[in-house]
Structure 1
Amino acid sequence: MQVKTMRLEAEDAKLIYQETAGLAIITIHRPQLKNALTANMWDQLAKVALRVLDNPKNKVLLIRGSGENFTAGSDIKEFNSISLEKAEEAFIHMERTISTIENLPIPTIGVINGPAMGAGLELALACDIRIGSEKAKMGIPVGKLGITLNNKFAKRLVDLVGPSATKDFVFTGRMYKAEEAFKAGMLNYLVAEKDLTRFSIRMGKLVAGMSPASLLAVKNSVKECVDSVPAIWEGSTPFVDQTDFAEGVRAFVEKRQPNFAPRQR
């Protein structure tokens, strides 16, 4: 197995890249912050994902988090030290990375052994198949942060769970536990944690043995069938609300409930 590690801001923040038997594996490793990704990590993740295509032997990409987390999404604490404009730019980079992975011309499998939250949920939903253990949790608690979902972001949820459940996720900040996520179609497979790695590798090899032409064709055909939303996310609804986002991030850092001001309609 070939292993490449991309070290990022600190020794404990890195992306681990492996290649073995037709599979490429990216592991997000930042355990002290639930594998949350900084803006730089999102950019690096896109570069690593595209690097998978440099080796024609790679037939399938697996994305996972280290330990008992997939990823908590973007690093909210980072936003407390930058301007709203920089925060908006960071979210745009995040969406570009997720779309890059979503549009790769090879199958992608998300391996979820813990929470996949916020942008981490979106990253999981961008994968073609998701395999979870009983420790998987999936949610998008953006309502506490003043983060706004534009059509591109919301569509991934709507495609799987429907409009009402998507709004329920944001309105209430609820999470689906593993069994709920499986029943809702957010997880394709639910296996015991002790079997997760072995099962995921086996599934990856199974998919890798299929016709590359068939795999690419079904990815493109399915996208055409369900992609009724134009790619207008950038420049339409922003990710950062000019008022609520600042209060939401401060409340997160200060570990308190946010105090959002009433809004005129």
Structure 2
Amino acid sequence: MQIQTVRLHEEDAKLIYQETASLAIITIHRPQAKNALTANMWRELASLTLQALQNPKNKVLILRGAGENFSAGSDIKEFHTMSLEQAEQAFVEMERTISTIESLPLPVIGVINGPAMGAGLELALACDIRIGSDKAKMGIPVGKLGIMLNNRFAKRLVNLVGPSTTKDFVFTGRTYKAEEAFQAGMLNYLVAEKDVTKFMIRLGKLVAGMSPDSLQAVKAAVQQCTESTPALWQGTTPFVSPNDFAEGVRAFVEKRQPNFTRSN
């Protein structure tokens, strides 16, 4: 087994890359921040994702979070120190990473052993298959932060749960618990927490034993079938609301409800 640990500037933050048999495994490890990713961590995650392609023995990529979290998404506290332009660029880096994982020619299995929120949910939805434990939670509370969903973000949710449920997620900021997420089709498998690691290895090896050409072909074909939006995200639709984002982030940091009231 090959293990590579990328230690980052953020306190106790690291990305762990492993190769074992036919599997490449990336673990997001930043426990004190619920595995939230800074802009720097998003860039490193993209780099490790592409590294999995360099070894022809790798047949499947597994993406998971350390402990009882998948990822809380992007680090909102980091946005509090940024200008709107810097925050927008950080979202661009995030989307590039998520799109890189989504379009990877290898099958990608996400392991959701805890909350997958905001961009963490989008990261999970970019995986081809998702395993959830009974501790899984999935939501995208962007309405509290003044973050805007472009068509690339929305498409991932719409493809799985439909337009109305996608809008409900944002309009209400609701969170699905494990069973709800499984019933909605956001999780392919639901297993007990104690069995998650064993199950992910077994499933990974099962997928790795299939024809690589067949897997790549079906992944490309399915993507073509679900690309209903003619013009996907190309960096033209902003992520950050110029009116609401600063207040949403400030309220998050101050642990209060945001006040989006403003004069017309």
- Please report the TM-score for the alignment, with normalisation by the length of structure 1: 0.98
Residues 79-99 of structure 1, C-alpha deviation per residue, up to 9 Å, x if partnerless?
Answer: 000100000000011000000
Match of 1:32 in 2: 32
Give the Å deviation of 1:262. Answer: 4.4
> Secondary structure in 1 aligned to 2:43?
helix
Match of 1:41 in 2: 41
- Aligned counterparts of 2:200 and 2:111: Cα–Cα separation in 1: 7
For the aligned residue pairs, the C-alpha RMSD in angstroms reads 1.0
- Answering whether residue 150 of structure 2 is matched by residue 141 of structure 1, we say no
Match of 2:202 in 1: 202
- Aligned counterparts of 2:23 and 2:220: Cα–Cα separation in 1: 21
CA contact (8 A) 2:92 2:235 kept: no
- Aligned counterparts of 1:109 and 1:88: Cα–Cα separation in 2: 28
CA contact (8 A) 1:133 1:196 kept: yes
- Aligned counterparts of 1:171 and 1:250: Cα–Cα separation in 2: 20
CA contact (8 A) 2:131 2:189 kept: yes
Give the Å deviation of 1:205. Answer: 0.2
Aligned-pair identity in percent equals: 78
- Aligned counterparts of 1:232 and 1:218: Cα–Cα separation in 2: 21
Match of 1:233 in 2: 233
Structure 1 stretches lacking a partner, 5+ long:
none
Q: Which runs of 4+ in 1 moved over 3 A?
A: none
> Secondary structure in 1 aligned to 2:196?
helix
- Aligned counterparts of 2:191 and 2:200: Cα–Cα separation in 1: 10
Q: Which stretch shows the higher mean deviation, 8-17 or 152-161?
A: 8-17
Assess, with a 3 A threshold, how the Cα gap between structure 1 residues 68 and 231 changes in structure 2: closer, same or farther: farther
Match of 2:168 in 1: 168
- Aligned counterparts of 1:81 and 1:225: Cα–Cα separation in 2: 41
Which letter does structure 1 place at the counterpart of 2:224?
Answer: E
- Answering whether residue 249 of structure 2 is matched by residue 249 of structure 1, we say yes
Assess, with a 3 A threshold, how the Cα gap between structure 1 residues 148 and 263 changes in structure 2: closer, same or farther: farther
Match of 2:215 in 1: 215
Give the Å deviation of 1:39. Answer: 0.2
Which letter does structure 2 place at the counterpart of 1:82?
Answer: M
Match of 1:127 in 2: 127
The number of aligned residues is 264
- Answering whether residue 259 of structure 2 is matched by residue 259 of structure 1, we say yes
